[in-house]
Structures are given as structure tokens and as C-alpha cells.
Amino acid sequence: MDVESSAQGRVHSALAETCSRHRQACSRTMITRLGLSLHRRLPIIVGYFSRHDAYNDASTAFWILMNPDLDALHPYPFEKLAALKAELTPPASLAHIPLTIGEPQHAPYPGALAALVAHQAEMARYPATNGLAALRETIAAWACQRFALAGLDTERQVLPVNGTREAIFAFVQAALDRSRPAKVAVPNPFYQIYEGATLLAGGEPLYLDCTADNGFRPDFSAVSADTWRDVQIVFICSPGNPTGAVTPLAEFKQLIALADEYDFIIASDECYSELYLDEATPPPGLLQACAELGRDDYRRCVVFHSLSKRSNLPGLRSGFVAGDADLIMPFKRYRTYHGCAMSLPMQHASIAAWQDENHVRANREAYREKFSAVTDVLAPVMDFPTPEASFYLWPAVPGGDDIAFTQRLFVEQHVSVLPGSLMATIDGMTTPPGGHTCSRFISSATATPAAKRPRRWTKRACPLKPTTCAKTGCQQRCWNISCIASR
Ligand SMILES: Cc1ncc(COP(=O)(O)O)c(C=O)c1O
């Protein structure tokens, strides 16, 4: 046996041993063909995988052992929606109206794009994890002005991030202590990253139902003291996706008191905070509640903000995290290893965007007009909470079956909405959200036509809102065509 083959033999037996050690403990995927072809053609890859993966016998199989928590991740709502629509054929004569993905349709802030171009040569430089001082100062000035804060330490209480999605995910990985019970409270229905981040960090989601009865906000008073003791992080989403509900200051303050009592972190996702309907009443934020309580160290509190919706820059991937330095500094350390610093041209673009409020006001104005047009069109046929903020509508589906509603709306009218039940964990819910669709009528480029088609169809095909029918006196949702005609 030559030197090379004996070395290879040692690698093989080490891998086989690793595999048998892991066999009981790990969930695994046997990728026989892939493994063998990789092994034959690229032995170096086998070496690369060998710390985490092993194969039991090079001649028969190659086992890739991945983090078993990956199996716990649910498909994204859009994947589930695609499956629901896979077998359906919509009418070719009607153009598709997609009302599903929450992507802004207004123009990105031109000042940010200009800064991006002006600083493109800085792509040649590595950025630092904590970003430019000028960016942190701009962010701090914006947040202090917007939320009436006494101050934010730009070295220790502010961190630029590549959008709130990655920051939320990464924060949970950095913050959760796996050595003790690790519940993470999330609103239900919810933005799926809260759940996925929790599962991959080895935590357990605690779903807090947001139903019409509690104003589509979590009812923290319903959580028992025993459960609170296991909670490490509470996610707030305000204004909420998908319901648009806004958390009042008093509720933030109550939650802060609970955080002190039970020693948990409050993570407030405020990425829709700048899209609100009443110009005089911006949604409050968690740090604002801290400031009103004189809690200027923002103890146990972090907020997540983004330029994606505020400045129509979802492709820029820019936001920030701010709050308690004892949370931000370890998070920064985590991010140094994770390697997610924002590129310098993006940082300059972000500075330009955070410094300008005119485009944000204009953006709100455009949404306001769309909201007004769409709610006028849909109110006669659908029930929905009066929107305060965000660009979502959360209408109750006439008839109550959100999946059937979604499929029929697609197959008959070529309109896509997202069934509410795909954005929630139904099992744990006392009142499942099935019966709502998350309809991004408002983010749609053509909001009024987008609402009119579902309205015409809903009026024709679905039970109407429960009102007293002039013709029959019927008080119920009613399929009777003569009742419908009379309204
Ligand atoms: C509730 C919520 N949080 C966070 C995000 C992520 O936004 P971004 O990463 O673009 O800042 C989204 C995006 O749609 C969202 O709906």
C-alpha cells in the first residue's frame, strides 16, 4: 500500500468511525449517488465535508449529516401557495394580479441611488462590521428624532445591518441561551423568520394568537408565570405583518415590566413603522416607550428598522438594530464572525436615505390614496380591521375558507392572495386565522383595479358581509342571488 492510499485509508476509516458515532444521534440524508460522484471526482470535497459529514462505506454510500434542526423548518408561505395553485389554470384572458409578496412598488429614493453610484469605487474596500461612524450617527439622529429619545450611543447602541430579515435571524442565533429552557414568543400569524430563527437556534416558539378579539395583537396577560420563566425573547411586530395592527405605547410599557420581572429580551420588529395612515399619529416604538419610562439604557430592548419599505429600497438590504448595549455589543461580535458587514456604497446610500424625510412623506401619501381607494372598493363585500399602518389588508374571507377563497379567486379571476392560515401555526391557535387572506392590495402598483376585480367576483360568488337584506330581512351571510342583487 503506497503512502497516498494508506493516508486515504486513514481518512476513510476516520470518516466511517465518525459516521457510526453519529448514526444514532443525528438525523441524516443518504445521498448515495451524489456522495459517490463527489468522492470519485473531487476527493477534496470529501475532506471538506468530513468535519460534519461522514460516509459509512465509500463503496456503497455517502452520508451527509446536517443540522437536524433544518428538518424542523417549515416551507415558506409562498412555497405552500405555489403548491395550492400548481394544478389550477387561471383564465388566460385576464392579466395576473399578484397581491402576495410584500414588495414596495413605488420608486426607490433617487438620492440613495445617486449615492450608490457616487461611491461605487469603494467596492474595492472591505467594510467594517459596525459600519461607518457617519452612518451610525445618521441612524442615531433619525431614531432620536422619530422616537423622541434622549440619545443613542453610536458606538454601543446602534448597528447597521443588511435588512431586518438577516438581522432578526442572526440576533436569535446570538442571543438564545441553549443551556436552559429557550422559548421565543412570536405573534401568530407571524413573519416566518421569527419561527425559523428560533428553531435553528435550538429554541421553542411560543405562538401568541393575534385574533380579532385582542385587536390582532398578542395578549401577554394570557401567558402564565411558569411559561414566562422559560421565555428568553419576545418578538413584537408593529405595525404588524400581516394584520397591520399597531402596538400602543402602554402595551410596550407593560411588556417592559414583564421583561424585568421574568428576565427576557424584547425584540421589536418595526420595519413598517414609517408607513402609516394618519400623518399626525406615527406608530410608537419600543425605544420610545423606554424613553418615556426614563430607561435610557434601553435595558433588555432591541429594535429592528429597515429602508426596504420606508424608502422603497428592498434591494439595498439596509437597516439597523438599536437598543441595549449589553445586547448590541455581543451581537456585533457574533456578526464579525458571521461576516455580514454592509458594503460601503450601500452605507452611503443608506446615509442619504435616512437623512431625507420628504420622500418618506410622499411615499405615505401615495399609500394613503391607495388605502382609501381600495378600502372604499372592498368594504361593501369584505370585513377587515381599519388599517392604521403597513401596506396590508387583512380581510375576513366571506364564507370563512381562506384556502378555497384563494384558489377560486385565482382560477376564476387570475388574482393571487395569500391565505392567512399559511402565515400561522393553526394547531396552537384558539381561534385559527383561517378565514383571512393577507392581501397586499395596497402595495400593488395598481391598487384600485387590483381591488375591483376581487370585489366584483366576491360580490358575485361569495356570501356578502352580514347586513340586513332589504328584500328578505336576512341577517346572515347569504348566498341567495336575490339577496345579493338587493344590496
Ligand atoms: C415583518 C417583517 N419583518 C422583516 C421583514 C424583512 O424586511 P427587510 O429585510 O427587507 O428589512 C419583512 C419583509 O417583508 C417583514 O414583513
Specify the CATH number for the domain of residue 389: 3.90.1150.10
Residue 462 in domain: yes
Single residue among 331, 355, 379 that ends a domain in this structure: 355
Q: What is the pLDDT of residue 394?
A: 85
Q: What is the pLDDT of residue 237?
A: 97
* 296's grid cell: 435610557
- How close is the Cα of 178 to the center of ligand 1, in Å? 26
DSSP-H helix ranges across 300-446:
325-338, 344-355, 358-378, 402-413
Q: What is the pLDDT of residue 437?
A: 58
Q: What is the pLDDT of residue 296?
A: 94
Chain-centroid distance of CA 9 in Å reads 48
Residues 416 and 273 in one domain: no
Q: What is the pLDDT of residue 269?
A: 98
CA nearest ligand 1 atom 16, residue: 241
Looking from the CA of residue 307, the nearest atom of ligand 1 is 11
Residues 285 and 411 in one domain: no
Residues 373 and 445 in one domain: yes
Between strands 319-323 and 158-161, the pairing is antiparallel
**363 in contact with ligand 1, CB cutoff 6 A:** no
Single residue among 295, 321, 355 that ends a domain in this structure: 355
- How close is the Cα of 192 to the center of ligand 1, in Å? 10
Residues 260 and 406 in one domain: no
Where in the sequence is the domain holding 276, given as residue range(s)?
Answer: 112-355
Residues 119 and 45 in one domain: no
Instruction: Report helix, strand or coil for 202.
Output: coil
Side chain identity at residue 292, one-letter code: E
Rounded-to-integer distance, Cα 43 and Cα 37, Å: 9
Question: 121: domain CATH number?
Answer: 3.40.640.10
Residues 102 and 139 in one domain: no
Residues 191 and 270 sit within 8 Å (Cβ to Cβ): no
Residues 264 and 172 sit within 8 Å (Cβ to Cβ): no
Residue 72 in domain: no
Q: Which of 307, 247, 256 minimizes the C-alpha distance to 282?
A: 247
DSSP for 46-109, please give it: HHHHTTT-EEEETTTEEEE---GGGGGPPPPHHHHHHHHHTT----TTS--EE--S----SPPP
Rounded-to-integer distance, Cα 258 and Cα 245, Å: 21
Residues 238 and 93 in one domain: no
- How close is the Cα of 165 to the center of ligand 1, in Å? 5
Residues 372 and 433 in one domain: yes
Residue 71 in domain: no
- How close is the Cα of 157 to the center of ligand 1, in Å? 21
* 280's grid cell: 399626525
Rounded-to-integer distance, Cα 471 and Cα 487, Å: 9
User: Taking the CA of residue 407 as centre, how many other CA atoms within 13 Å lie in the half-sphere pointing to its CB?
Assistant: 10
Sign, CA torsion 183/238/449/470: positive
- How close is the Cα of 300 to the center of ligand 1, in Å? 22
Residues 9 and 37 sit within 8 Å (Cβ to Cβ): no
Residues 43 and 145 in one domain: no
**243 in contact with ligand 1, CB cutoff 6 A:** no
Residues 130 and 229 in one domain: yes
Residue 226 in domain: yes
How far is residue 31 from each of residues 28, 63, 64, 235, measured CA to CA in Å?
Answer: 9, 6, 7, 37
**192 in contact with ligand 1, CB cutoff 6 A:** no
Q: Which of 114, 110, 138 minimizes the C-alpha distance to 345?
A: 114
Q: Helix axis angle, 402-413 relative to 77-85, nearest 10°?
A: 60
Residues 336 and 441 in one domain: no
Cis ω on the peptide bond leading into residue 189 (within 30° of 0)? yes
Q: Which of 451, 108, 142 minimizes the C-alpha distance to 282?
A: 142
- How close is the Cα of 318 to the center of ligand 1, in Å? 11
Q: Which of 45, 54, 61 minimizes the C-alpha distance to 23?
A: 54
Q: What is the pLDDT of residue 395?
A: 83
Q: What is the pLDDT of residue 295?
A: 97
Single residue among 355, 371, 391 that ends a domain in this structure: 355
Residues 40 and 83 in one domain: no
Residue 342 in domain: yes
Rounded-to-integer distance, Cα 282 and Cα 246, Å: 10
Looking from the CA of residue 314, the nearest atom of ligand 1 is 10
* 204's grid cell: 421553542
487 residues of the chain, pLDDT tens digit each: 343 444 444 434 544 454 444 444 433 333 333 333 333 333 222 222 333 333 344 444 445 688 888 988 988 888 989 998 998 999 999 988 888 777 888 899 999 999 999 999 999 999 999 999 999 999 999 999 999 999 999 999 999 999 999 999 999 999 999 999 999 999 998 899 999 999 999 999 999 998 888 899 999 999 999 999 999 999 999 999 988 999 999 999 999 999 999 999 999 999 999 999 999 999 999 999 999 999 999 999 999 999 999 999 999 999 999 999 999 999 999 999 999 999 999 999 999 999 999 999 999 999 998 888 888 888 888 888 878 899 888 888 777 778 888 888 889 888 888 888 888 876 555 444 555 655 555 545 455 556 666 666 665 544 434 444 444 444 333 322 222 222 2
Domain count of the fold of the chain:
3
- How close is the Cα of 458 to the center of ligand 1, in Å? 30
Q: What is the pLDDT of residue 462?
A: 46
> Which one of 272, 306, 392, 438 would you pick to mutate in the ligand 1 pocket, going by the greatest count of ligand atoms within 8 A of its CB?
306
Rounded-to-integer distance, Cα 451 and Cα 453, Å: 6
**188 in contact with ligand 1, CB cutoff 6 A:** no
Sort residue 306 into left (φ over 0), alpha (ψ -120 to 50) or beta: beta
Residue 278 in domain: yes
* 410's grid cell: 385565482
DSSP for 265-328, please give it: EEEEE-TTTT-BS-TT-PPP-HHHHHHHTT-TT-TTEEEEEESTTTTT-TTT--EEEEE-HHHH
**397 in contact with ligand 1, CB cutoff 6 A:** no
Rounded-to-integer distance, Cα 240 and Cα 9, Å: 57
Chain-centroid distance of CA 18 in Å reads 38
